Chain A
Amino acid sequence: MPEKTDILAGIASYNNAGTIGHVVKAVDAGLSKYFGGKRAVIVNSDGGSIDGTTDAVRTASFEHEAIFTSHPAYAINRISMPYDGIPGKGSAFKAIFRKAVEMNAGACCVVDADLRSITPEWIELLVSPVLNYGFDFVAPLYSRHKYDGTITNSIVYPMTRALYGKRIRQPIGGEFGFSGRLAEYYLGQDVWETEVARFGIDIWMTTEALANGFRVCQTFLGAKIHDPKDPGADLSDMMTQVVSTLFSLAERHSSAWREINGSLDVPTFGFRHHVGLDPVRVNIERMLRIFRLGVKELGPIWSDVLGKGDFRELERIAGDNDASFRFPQSLWTRLVYDYAIAFHKKRLPPGHLIKSLVPLYLGRTASFFMEAADMGHNEAENAVETLCAEFEANKGYLVNNWK
């Protein structure tokens, strides 16, 4: 094992024997092809897989001669190790950060182990902004269906952008590039016994980089296709994990975002293009039914969090028929800020508070799907940008009520 490395590529895994071989090959090929003259290591941080994931990491191989005219100057080492601490992606990343610090890595990247669409170019796109241009943090940018990533599009991206003033389009992407300096900073934070160790590591990494003045950029990776997620994964749990981390970080960094107005583009690497994607089936009728059920049954909670005026507005739009139903952006923006304020002021237990946001989110999502039904990719993207502008314009409401 080399004592020092120039590049460290991390892969967090748990029972990914079916896909991790392909991911390791792509990473190996990317390191060989684009960084052949550098010392590099692939680190697999595993959560105790029982399906042969670690064997797949060790045995995955490809013929260098078939792709390259020459071998890389240094052999690319592979380390497969179990991580310790609380089970979760955060703990797996902590082990990768530790290894990066131990090996004094100059540039690092992490990729998911369940990726099917990863290519060697992803490694170049994630690592070279750090190695060649001095950035500390590289967020991914994917081509996605206009209906995908609705929590990202309606809550995480607009709020992160409004709070920290940087337009990172996919703050919870899953693949990241980062400098050794940032890895050391991450490792030194006292969060590894908290929920960040279990979930929310993606938004945590992005927010810490933004709030602490590290140089950030994003890189276009194309379409992201991965193994189907657990079909039993509950939307309420997903929402709780992501949004509670987002709100907790807003509390932690309140002094960093209070004075920020508007937002700025960040440098974007890669050739941006739209990829043809499979159609996505949505059940708008079900979403609206749950939203209306929420208006009927969760009235006392929503009145308390949002105030009576906005709750009456919700009652009014709930009375519209399905075809003409629209959830105004301004109302949605106030509502997300009200939830952040309620979270900060501990007006309800966090689990109850965030889960009670789900019917509202479904109402807003149904409205967006109907608005975007005839839109092309760019128009749908513009609609997200308009929402972000609304979040920025209303930020004073959050600042004034935060205390």
Chain B
Amino acid sequence: MENFKDLLIDPFRKFWAGLVDFLPNLLAMAVIAIGGVLLSWAFRLVLLKAFRALNFDAFCDRMGMTTMLRKANVWTTPSVLVANGVFGFFAVVFSMLGLSALRLQAIDSLSVQFFMYLPRAFSALVILIVGYMAAGFVARTVLIAAVNGGYNYAKLLAEGVRLLVIVMVLAMALEQLQIAPGIVVAAFSIIFGGIVIALAVAFGVGGIDAARKVINRGPEGKAGRDEIEHL
């Protein structure tokens, strides 16, 4: 009878012992996760203040990033967007740290994979930001040069160049993230090569007169140039 009683109570006793062993882990997870989220939120507020002091939104306006966000139907200001992004990132990191405090094998291996992937994600993000700024700079250079040269399709040309740079940047970011790298490289080669060939054919065949004029230096050729000394 005593044996039977032990058989009945033992699972509960073991469960209770396990629960008592596990509770500190659970508590540690809760403290890390909740504390981390609160800390991330505080960091978000500090970041917002710093952005306001540095006129970050005005800088983004000038760099054309706000316009890009509007085009993507994002209506928050760039400073709030970045601060939210940073908050989200740290909230996830702290949550993962908290989960690893549970010391469960499955979650541990998930955490390891997550943290191993972080440098790649960070590199991809940097590539995207720098690439986007470079695309804007190059496109504006082309736009102004084309207008000053008197080319009628200046904006089209500038947007084409921006598209090429952005395609290249996206391919680099995806390659960095190791998302189907073989397919990304092949797709990039096809798209980039296709665009270049299409432009060359369109310029050489479709716009043969314009091409001739360009080769003859400028839209009007030498004959249309002024003799004035500007200085």
**A249: min CB distance to chain B, Å:** 16
* Min C-beta distance of B213 to chain A, whole Å: 13
* A residues less than 8 Å from B229 (CB atoms): 144, 148-149, 229
Q: Knowing A289-B150, A352-B140, A355-B144 are in contact, say whether A150-B224 is a contact too (CB < 8 A).
A: no
Measured CA separation A356–B137 after assembly (Å): 14
Interface of B, secondary structure class, is: helix
Residues 201-231 of chain B, each 1 if its beta carbon lies under 8 Å from chain A, else 0: 0000000000000000000100011111111
Q: Is the CB of A352 within 8 A of B220?
A: no
Interface string of B67-95 (1 = CB under 8 A from A): 00000000000000000000000000000
Closest residue on chain B to residue A293 by CB atoms: B147
- The closest CB in chain B to the CB of A232 belongs to B217
Question: For chain A, what secondary structure do more than half of its interface residues adopt (helix, strand, loop), or is it mixed?
Answer: helix
Task: Report which of B155, B224, B226, B230 forms a contact with A297, defined as CB distance below 8 A.
Answer: B155
Identify which of A152, A297, A298, A356 gathers the most chain B CB atoms within 10 Å of its CB.
A297
Known: A293-B154, A297-B143. A359 touches B148 (CB 8 A): yes
- Please provide the chain A residues from 292 to 338 with a CB less than 8 Å away from any CB of chain B in the complex: 293-294, 297-298, 301, 304
Task: Please indicate the chain B residues that have their CB under 8 angstroms from the CB of A1 in the complex.
Answer: none
Asked if B189 lies at the interface with its beta carbon under 8 angstroms from chain A, I say no
B231 near A242: Cβ-Cβ < 8 Å = yes
Partner of B230, one of A150, A283, A294: A150
Write out the residue numbers on chain B whose beta carbons fall within 8 Å of the beta carbon of A304.
Answer: 62
Q: Which residues of chain A are within 8 angstroms of B155 by Cβ–Cβ distance?
A: 297
Residues of B close to A239: CB separation below 8 A? 230
Residues of A within 8 A of B220 (CB): 283, 286
Is A148 a contact partner of B228 (Cβ separation < 8 A)?
Answer: yes
Smallest CB–CB gap between B216 and chain A, Å? 14
Q: Which residues of B, 123-154, contact A by the 8 Å Cβ criterion?
A: 137, 140-141, 143-148, 150, 152, 154
Knowing A281-B226, A347-B62, A348-B62 touch, does A298 contact B231 (C-beta < 8 A)? no
Q: Which of A151, A280, A290 contacts B147 (CB 8 A)?
A: A290
B224 is contacted by which of A151, A283, A294 (Cβ under 8 Å)? Answer: A283
Q: How far is the CB of B230 from chain A (nearest CB, A)?
A: 5
**B148: A residues at CB distance < 8 A:** 235-236, 290, 355, 358-359
A147 within 8 A of B: yes
| A282 CB contacts on chain B under 8 angstroms | 226-228
Are A280 and B227 neighbours in the complex by a CB distance under 8 Å?
yes
Q: Given the complex of chains A and B, what is the CA–CA distance between A352 and B143 in angstroms?
A: 10
Which residues from chain B contact A352 at a C-beta distance below 8 Å? 140-141, 144
Cβ–Cβ contact A152 & B150, under 8 A = no
From A147, A355, A359, contact of B228 by CB (8 A) = A147
Residues in B whose Cβ lies below 8 Å from that of A359: 147-148
A150 to B228, CA, bound (A): 8
A290 to B228, CA, bound (A): 16
Known: A293-B150, A297-B155. A356 touches B231 (CB 8 A): no
Q: How far is the CB of A296 from chain B (nearest CB, A)?
A: 8
- Nearest A residue to B143 via CB reads A297
Q: Report if A260 contacts B (CB, 8 A).
A: no
**Shortest Cβ distance from B219 into chain A, in angstroms?**
8
| Per-position 1/0 for A239-259, Cβ under 8 A of B | 100100000000000000000
Query: Given A281-B227, A349-B137, do A356 and B150 touch, yes or no (CB 8 Å)?
Result: no
Extra inter-chain contacts (20) besides given A151-B230, A290-B147, A355-B145, CB under 8 Å = A147-B228, A149-B229, A149-B230, A150-B228, A150-B230, A172-B231, A235-B148, A236-B144, A236-B148, A239-B230, A280-B226, A286-B220, A286-B224, A293-B152, A297-B154, A298-B144, A348-B62, A352-B140, A355-B144, A358-B144
Which positions in A face B, CB cutoff 8 Å? Answer: 144, 147-152, 172, 229, 235-236, 238-239, 242, 280-283, 286-287, 289-290, 293-294, 297-298, 301, 304, 347-349, 351-352, 355-356, 358-359
Could you name 17 residue pairs across A and B whose Cβ atoms are closer than 8 Å? A147-B228, A150-B230, A151-B230, A238-B231, A280-B226, A281-B226, A282-B226, A283-B226, A286-B150, A286-B220, A293-B150, A298-B143, A301-B140, A347-B62, A351-B141, A352-B144, A355-B144
Q: Which 7 A-B pairs have the closest CB atoms?
A: A281-B227, A151-B230, A358-B148, A148-B229, A355-B144, A297-B154, A290-B150
